[in-house]
Amino acid sequence: MIAALRWFLIAGVVFAGGVLVWLAWPATGNVDLPAGLSSANPGMADRGAYLVRAAACLPCHWDKKNGGERFAGGRELKTPFGTFYTPNITPDGETGIGKWSDAEFVGALTHGVGRSGEQLYPTLPYTSYTHMRIEDALAIKAYLSTQNAVHHPNKPHALSFPYSWRALVKGWKLLYFDTPQPLTDVPGRSASWNRGRYLVTAVGHCAECHSPRDLQGALVPGAWLHGNPKGPDGWKVPALAGPGAKEFAGWTNAQIANYLKSGEEPNFDSAEGPMAEVIAEGMKYLTDEDRLAIADYLKSLSTTPGS
């Protein structure tokens, strides 16, 4: 009996040690890029400029309140898990992404793996960007490469235990992160609907703020876009679908598109908090067609939830 217990304990220690090694082992996030596809291809930077707006990258990666430089990061983001500080994504070679290869950048954006194999926290919304087309991810890199290189070291996150142990993100991904797969069009749906679905789901990553999260920081199953009472910096984020979206469901497509352009709600209130920044630095620069496409897709969720 004692011998069996001893072997059981030894096996437990070996298993636990193996798990710890697996968690700490650097990941491989590099992706195989299609032949001939590069961020240096003609027109990529112009395309990326538009996508950076659609993804609202600037509001998160700009500590505007404290006089920071555009895209240099450092913005404080308070969450129930602690305080995150956004990274520098300017082309600075030491503190930004200036030395990153195309494969490394796409790996970070769509796989959540850093340049040295470290696990990235899902405050970088790779759980949505994983559905982004590779050429769009490369276009974003191309545009960021044209920005001013700002030497601004990244500030360490201030997280409570166990969230402070970055290696645990690897286990989190095993439970909650889908295999990276670019979003494809749904047959039988209009071009506008499919475009809106792509912008909402992948590029705009709307669910990251507009969906509730559980204690592990994962989106609650079956509650996609159902609103989030504990959104970024403590803001209550409204529902865009589900039973809590009764007010939003009453908006017309034109009213939704106008809101994304001007921040004005049908009841004459105005967008506030993070959404006001998303509109000011992102949505208002989109084409009228894309804003209507977003409206087209969101309105459909009241009849086809979870599409």
What's the length of the chain? 307
How high is the pLDDT of residue 11?
Answer: 47
Mean pLDDT, range 279-304, rounded to an integer: 92
CATH 2.30.29 is the classification of domain 191-300: no
Does the pLDDT value for residue 34 go beyond 90?
A: no
Q: What pLDDT, on a 0 to 100 scale, did the predictor assign at position 4?
A: 53
pLDDT value at residue 43: 96
Task: Choose the weakest-confidence range: 6-15, 42-51, 58-67, 173-182.
Answer: 6-15
pLDDT (tens digit per residue) in 193-204:
999 999 999 999
Distance of CA 224 to the CA centre of its chain: 14
pLDDT, tens only, 155-165: 999 998 888 88
Separation between Cα atoms, residue 35 and residue 42, nearest integer Å: 15
Q: Indicate where the chain has its CATH 1.10.760 domain(s).
A: 191-300
pLDDT classification of 27: cutoffs 50, 70, 90:
low
Q: What is the average pLDDT across 281-290? A: 97
Classify strands 76-79 and 82-85 as parallel, antiparallel or unpaired. antiparallel
pLDDT score recorded for residue 151 = 98
Confidence category of residue 1, pLDDT binned at 50, 70, 90 = low
Both tokens of residue 249? 């469901």
User: What average pLDDT does the segment 67-80 reach?
Assistant: 94
Mean pLDDT, all residues of the chain: 88
Q: How far is CA 266 from the centre of its chain?
A: 28
Amino acid at 13: V
pLDDT at 169 over 70: yes
> Could you tell me which residue, 25 or 129, shows the higher pLDDT?
129
Could you give the angle at the alpha carbon of 14 between the alpha carbons of 12 and 15, nearest 5°? Answer: 65
Taking only the tens place, the pLDDT of each residue in 92-144 is: 999 999 999 999 999 999 999 999 899 999 999 999 999 999 999 999 999 99
* Angle at the Cα of 173 from the Cα atoms of 171 and 178, rounded to 5 degrees: 150
Give the distance, in angstroms, between the CA of residue 305 and the centroid of all CA atoms in the same chain: 21
What is the number of other CB atoms lying within 10 angstroms of the CB of residue 82?
15
